[in-house]
Amino acid sequence: MASLSHMGLDLLVGVTGLPILWPFSSHVFKLPFGLLPSAGKPSLSNYYFYYNLGIEMGVLIPLSCGLLISQYKRLSLCRWVIIGLLLTVSAYFMHWAYGLSR
């Protein structure tokens, strides 16, 4: 599951093509859009690394928290509101990442 999720997240960046069907096919898949920013050079002095990391966290952390909250057997109205807010925050960061130059 970890390797599949990594490929899925790389596909959501939409920058580089991925040989998903390798070794059976050398065809490369790439989405025409990106919902996550591309990774900057991992360096402590690289501003864009932290900028992109913040956007990625803004997309993935609210989604993860919403999934955890939705696992409760009984969801009250308050929990539905929290899930809605978390999805809104995640969608905002996805929209921000979508607008970045590729």
Tens digits of per-residue pLDDT, 40-98?
Answer: 677 888 888 888 889 889 999 999 999 999 888 888 898 999 999 999 999 999 898 88
pLDDT at 39 over 80: no
- Give the Cα separation of 11 and 76 in Å (integer): 35
pLDDT of residue 44: 83
Within a 10 A sphere around the Cβ of 20, how many other Cβ atoms? 15
pLDDT of residue 102: 63
Closest listed residue to residue 53, CA positions, set 12, 93, 95, 7: 93
